[in-house]
């Protein structure tokens, strides 16, 4: 069995007037450990929902999700918290940095309760922010804050790194650098990295591309 396994996964939201939206609709795919996967798709296609289901941030309506042979879709709240803490790193679309901690402190805090963290300073350097480590988020540009959030997720050294539009605020050259860095997390440390992006040019980095449209997918192996 593959490392990550989605079987007939559906996530339905109920919005005003009892209208149901299938954000993820009967999705099946597998991902191997150490793969670098890019998820492409238009706004509203269901990409963030898919990442949230895999990261244990949201519960599914039907189907099963297995990670490393564990049926995470049946985890209770306590097991899910441990799974998120010990196995998953997130780069959020909106960076979620703590405003009264410096860039370095934000990264240090994230590494405090995980099993096998990397050096926070090294992670800050890897995203090119060695000169800004003592600045607070409000003193950083959007792109710099985004890079702090990437350093924070990488420093946790998780088995699965989930990134939602990690280069949305970056210029093209810095975006390329960040994609290379994320790819190296998969290639050099054999972690599974899954990146959501609008930008099809980044598909060239991927071992596998998942295209989403209206909650459904098409998988392509590069």
Ligand X SMILES: Nc1ncnc2c1ncn2[C@@H]1O[C@H](COP(=O)(O)OP(=O)(O)OP(=O)(O)O)[C@@H](O)[C@H]1O
Cα–Cα nearest to 212, from 46, 86, 72, 65: 46
Residue selected from 34, 44, 128, 168 as contacting ligand X according to rule CB under 6 A:
44
By CB under 6 A, is residue 41 in contact with ligand X? yes
Residues in the interface with ligand X (CB under 6 A) total: 12
Residue 81: partners with Cβ closer than 8 Å, 6 or more residues away: none
Q: Do residues 21 and 12 lie in contact, with contact meaning Cβ atoms separated by under 8 Å?
A: yes
By CB under 6 A, is residue 94 in contact with ligand X? no
Q: Do residues 32 and 204 lie in contact, with contact meaning Cβ atoms separated by under 8 Å?
A: no
Q: How far is the CB of 60 from ligand X (least distance, A)?
A: 13
Return d(Cα 132, Cα 102) in angstroms, integer: 9
Instruction: Name which of 48 and 73 has its Cβ closer to ligand X.
Output: 48
Cβ-in-10-Å burial (0-12, 13-18, 19+) of 74 comes to exposed
**Residue labelled with tokens 């804050």:** 145
Residues 113-152, mask of contacts with ligand X (x by CB under 6 A): ----------------------------------------
Sole window of 40-48, 80-88, 125-133, 142-150 interacting with ligand X (rule: CB under 6 A): 40-48
Instruction: Name which of 15 and 77 has its Cβ closer to ligand X.
Output: 15
By CB under 6 A, is residue 15 in contact with ligand X? yes
Residues forming the site for ligand X (CB under 6 A): 13, 15, 21, 23, 41, 43-49
């Amino acid at each position: 069995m593959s490392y990550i396994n989605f079987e007939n996964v559906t996530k339905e939201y109920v919005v005003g007037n009892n209208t149901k939206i299938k954000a993820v609709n009967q999705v099946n795919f597998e991902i191997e450990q150490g793969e670098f996967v890019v998820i492409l798709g238009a706004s509203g296609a269901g990409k963030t929902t898919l990442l949230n289901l895999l990261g244990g941030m949201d519960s599914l309506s039907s189907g099963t999700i297995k990670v490393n042979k564990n049926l995470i879709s049946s985890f209770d709240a306590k097991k899910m918290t441990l799974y998120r803490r010990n196995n998953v790193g997130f780069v959020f679309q909106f960076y979620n940095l703590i405003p009264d901690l410096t860039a370095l402190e934000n990264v240090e805090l994230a590494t405090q309760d995980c099993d096998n963290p990397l050096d926070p300073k090294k992670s800050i350097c890897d995203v090119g922010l060695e000169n800004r480590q003592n600045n607070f988020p409000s003193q950083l540009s959007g792109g710099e804050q985004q890079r702090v959030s990437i350093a924070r997720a990488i420093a946790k050294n998780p088995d699965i790194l989930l990134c939602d539009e990690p280069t949305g605020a970056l210029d093209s050259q810095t975006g390329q650098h960040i994609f290379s860095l994320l790819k190296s997390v998969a290639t050099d440390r054999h972690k599974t990295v899954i990146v959501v992006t609008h930008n099809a040019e980044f598909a060239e980095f991927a071992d596998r591309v998942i295209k989403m449209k209206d909650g459904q997918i098409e998988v392509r192996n590069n």
